[in-house]
């Protein structure tokens, strides 16, 4: 199977690397020659390190790079069996690109989008053969992250779904099936990790360093929410939050925070700009956390129960199966355990009680308890 990848950014080159690793001929297309050159150089350096560590041989590395054909012309996709688009998160641009690709590829070619939050159905609707379009959402860095969300649009044919999932499974990825709803599984369920942490910050309950300390040291997350937002980029994270908020008809559960909006407006994107919630300049010192166990546990209980509520609501609305929701959060964003499993450990009724207490305190719909959590509490 010949694989096309549109977009040579970090995600595109990562997908190309995976496909080439598993023996596929790859056509990597980007109209930005400088971006293409930088990506190929980065890939070469990564492979060199793998050779030095004895993970792969030099001949394997050379073969992998040799299987990737670079081009600036999408007509080079003419003999591809599948093309995976990994360009800017802009619906109009994606729709335009899919229309152009459809003029080039064969009638049997699958067209996939790596979108993280946009409607796959809208992208498919731009095509003459919408049944060939599907969402295949990798996580960054694609070669290292095991999870891939498979998102059929309502137009996607069963055979395209089966072929696509079989291909990604053959790349030794963990695939989960998600309904075409805003944020799919991970970017929907993960919103409170950022949103509730920002709310705690804005209320003055704790500072950035203390919240990060609580979520890593006490809850077991690999990165605290503010460290992670700085890593992702506050511009990127804010846009995803805003997109999900708008797509859910302004449901207050997904309301963005002014704090992150202002950082994004100021150009304080995080690591890539040298400053975000933390200062990354050489020699800079950042505030130490207040290592107060009682305060830390209060933070953890609040953020975790909001995450659990979101996972339960995704299950309630049949976004995915319980197994796939927990798999998505452990394999896609390295959560210490599946959220529905976590809810069982804490006790479903305890989760309901915590949410009801938050709702009674704030009287905001943001803290409404999912009907699924109430159902689980009654049944257990």
Q: Do 73 and 101 form a contact (C-beta atoms < 8 A)?
A: no
Q: What region, left, alpha or beta, does residue 125 occupy, with left being phi > 0 and alpha being psi -120 to 50 degrees?
A: alpha
Closest CA to 138 of 228, 7, 314: 7
Q: Tokens 């050159």 sit at which residue?
A: 37
3-state secondary structure of 119: coil
Q: N- to C-terminal Cα distance for the chain?
A: 48
By DSSP bridging, strand 147-152 and strand 133-138 are antiparallel
Determine phi and psi for 375, rounding to 5 degrees.
-65, -45
Catalytic residues: 116, 137, 149, 187
- Listing DSSP states for 271-319 in one string gives GGGTBSSSB-STT---PPP---HHHHHHHHHHHHHHHHHHHHHHHHTTS
Question: What sign does the CA torsion over 290, 294, 300, 305 have?
Answer: negative
Pairwise CA distance, residues 219 & 212, whole Å: 10
Q: Tokens 């595109």 sit at which residue?
A: 12
């Amino acid at each position: 199977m010949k694989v096309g990848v549109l977009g040579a950014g970090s995600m595109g080159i990562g997908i190309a690397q995976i496909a080439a690793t598993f023996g596929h001929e790859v056509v990597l297309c980007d109209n930005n020659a400088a971006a293409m050159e930088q990506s190929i150089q980065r890939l070469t350096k990564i492979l060199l390190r793998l050779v030095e560590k004895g993970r792969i041989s030099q001949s394997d590395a050379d073969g992998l790079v040799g299987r990737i054909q670079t081009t600036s012309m999408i007509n080079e996709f003419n003999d591809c069996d599948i093309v995976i688009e990994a360009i800017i998160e802009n619906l109009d641009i994606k729709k335009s690109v899919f229309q152009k690709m459809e003029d080039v590829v064969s009638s049997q070619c699958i067209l996939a989008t790596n979108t993280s939050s946009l409607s796959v159905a809208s992208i498919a609707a731009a095509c003459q053969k919408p049944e060939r379009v599907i969402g295949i959402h990798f996580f960054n860095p694609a070669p290292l992250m095991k999870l891939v969300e498979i998102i059929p649009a309502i137009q996607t044919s069963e055979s395209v779904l089966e072929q696509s999932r079989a291909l990604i499974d053959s790349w030794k990825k963990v695939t989960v099936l998600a309904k075409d709803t805003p944020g799919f599984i991970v970017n929907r369920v993960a919103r409170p990790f950022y949103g509730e942490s920002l709310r705690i910050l804005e209320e003055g309950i704790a500072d950035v360093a203390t919240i990060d300390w609580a979520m890593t040291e006490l809850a077991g997350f690999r990165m605290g929410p503010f460290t992670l937002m700085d890593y992702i980029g506050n511009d990127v994270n804010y846009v995803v939050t805003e997109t999900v908020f708008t797509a859910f008809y302004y449901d207050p559960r997904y309301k963005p925070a002014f704090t992150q909006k202002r950082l994004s407006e100021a150009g304080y994107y995080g690591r890539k700009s040298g400053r975000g919630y933390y200062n990354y300049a050489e020699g800079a010192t950042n505030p130490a956390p207040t290592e107060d166990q009682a305060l830390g546990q209060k933070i953890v209980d609040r953020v975790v129960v909001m995450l659990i509520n979101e996972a339960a609501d995704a299950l309630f609305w049949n976004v995915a199966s319980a197994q796939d929701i927990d798999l998505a959060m452990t394999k896609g964003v390295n959560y210490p355990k599946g959220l529905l499993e976590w809810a069982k450990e804490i006790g479903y009724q305890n989760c309901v009680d915590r949410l009801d207490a938050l709702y009674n305190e704030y009287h905001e719909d943001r803290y409404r308890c999912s009907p699924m959590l109430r159902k689980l509490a009654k049944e257990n």
